[in-house]
Amino acid sequence: MCVDRLISTAVIISRIRRALPIVLGHDPLLPFHRSPVLLQRLYQSPHIPLLLAVSYLLKLLKRCSSCSYPILVKSGVEWIVEATEQLRGVTHSRRAVRMLLNVLAVAAVSAAVLYVLYKWLIPAAVQNSGWLALIWHDVIVERVLNILTGLSRPQRMLKAVQKNATKGDPQSVIAAIDYYCRHKEWAMNVGDDKGPILDSVVSEVNPSTALELGTYCGYSTVRIARLLSPGSKLITVEFNPAYAAVARQIIAHAGLQNKVTLVEGGSGDLIPKIKEQFGITSFDFVFLDHWKDRYLPDIKLLEDCGLLKKGSVLLADNVICPGTPEYLEYVRNSPRYKSQYFQSYLEYTKAEDGLEKSVFLG
Ligand SMILES: C[S@@+](CC[C@H](N)C(=O)[O-])C[C@H]1O[C@@H](n2cnc3c(N)ncnc32)[C@H](O)[C@@H]1O
């Protein structure tokens, strides 16, 4: 590369040396010949091709034309003006193309780096920390995807279910959501690590009446409802109307709408009205998976409203991440409960989380 440049420089300089004296009557580059740095600068100058072109043209005109010298000079000057403009255009457009290519190269490399960071490096780095995973997935990625897709995360999850799950097949709905959340986009479902623990507790209790606090998109609702015996009923509560709308469609896609009553509203408002509104005397099973600071007040409300009976089973999600210390302290120390921790992972990550199963002793 360097040798090529030197050769080209030498060739150009020798041409200029031969051309310029013809045009100017002397060699203006003479003083620079001993300085390689100046020659290099001259070589890089955009005026060199212009000077060459002018000198060649004048030489040609001098030879071929029978015109007098002043006319020759006049037409030469006109040509110079024209050639200068053309060459300037060429030089500028070449520079513009080079600049554009540079900008495109920088943009392509930056996009590739950002993609690798977004797709693999950051998700891998936050996998083992529950809080970092929550901030990354729940705060940053969700907002970016909302802007890019014009849809909310629950709507994207619903689309994945409609595309990939078989209607009337709850297992395929669960699989479609788990696949979507493991490979495309994290979401706050109980997930496929803690899900089997939830399944085993529901199967063991075999409840005729079940309550779920916190529906979100209906993932855990489908998990619970698919295991209920005929005639059993699940009430699920969600205070976000947009989530509730998506959950209704996912539950219907799974074919479980007859087993589930989705109530739109806050748990604190609903619990005192359950007996009257639904004719339920008590719950055999309660799944707590709403905002964590509501766990303790809501089970005290369930106790006060007489909705727990001896043997009722409470199962609380996320007792480690984000964590429910007051609730754990209460159920683990109260003589009214027999409590047991099931260790697992925060949904779709490798960070520790777990479920607390607490049997109400009356
Ligand atoms: C972790 S998500 C539930 C996930 C769901 N159980 C699953 O595993 O698929 C918590 C949900 O509870 C809802 N929520 C929080 N506090 C609530 C309350 N006091 N009453 C009703 N819904 C609540 C939130 O809007 C959110 O959708």
> Which residue lies with its CA nearest to atom 26 of ligand 1?
216
Report pLDDT digits (tens) over 298-324. 999 999 999 999 999 999 999 999 999
The angle, 0 to 180 degrees and rounded to 10, between the axes of the packed helices 2-24 and 47-64 is: 40
Structure tokens at 272: 């005192």
- Pick the residue with more confidence: 23 or 348? 348
Longest dimension (CA), the chain: 122
Rounded Cα gap, residues 187 and 336, in angstroms: 34
| Residues 75, 69: Cα–Cα separation, whole Å | 10
**Tokens representing 163?**
């595309």
- List pLDDT tens digits, range 186-219: 999 999 999 999 999 999 999 999 999 999 999 9
For residue 276, the one-letter residue type is: E
Question: Can you tell me the distance from the alpha carbon of 53 to that of 269, in angstroms, rounded to the nearest whole number?
Answer: 88
Tell the residue number behind the tokens 């001896």, with chain if given. 310
Residues flanking ligand 1, CB < 6 Å = 188-190, 214, 216, 219-220, 237-240, 243, 266-267, 289-291, 294
Block residue for tokens 């780096």 = 113
pLDDT above 80 for 335: yes
Percentage of residues in the chain having pLDDT higher than 90: 64
pLDDT of amino acid 356: 98
Stated as kind and residue range, the H or E segment containing 13 is: helix 2-24
150 has a pLDDT exceeding 50? yes
How many Å apart are CA 177 and CA 19, to the nearest integer?
A: 76
Nearest CA to ligand 1 atom 2: 216
Tens of pLDDT along 68-83? 555 656 666 666 666 6
Residue 62 contacts residue 56 (beta carbons within 8 Å): no
What pLDDT is attached to residue 211? 98
The confidence score (pLDDT) of residue 253 equals 98
Q: What residue spans in the chain does CATH classification 3.40.50.150 cover?
A: 147-360
Dihedral in degrees, nearest 10, Cα atoms 169, 225, 325, 266 = 110
The answer to pTM > 0.85 is no
Among 174, 177, 235, 238, say which to mutate for ligand 1: greatest number of ligand atoms within 8 Å of CB.
238
- Domain boundaries 147-360, corresponding CATH code: 3.40.50.150
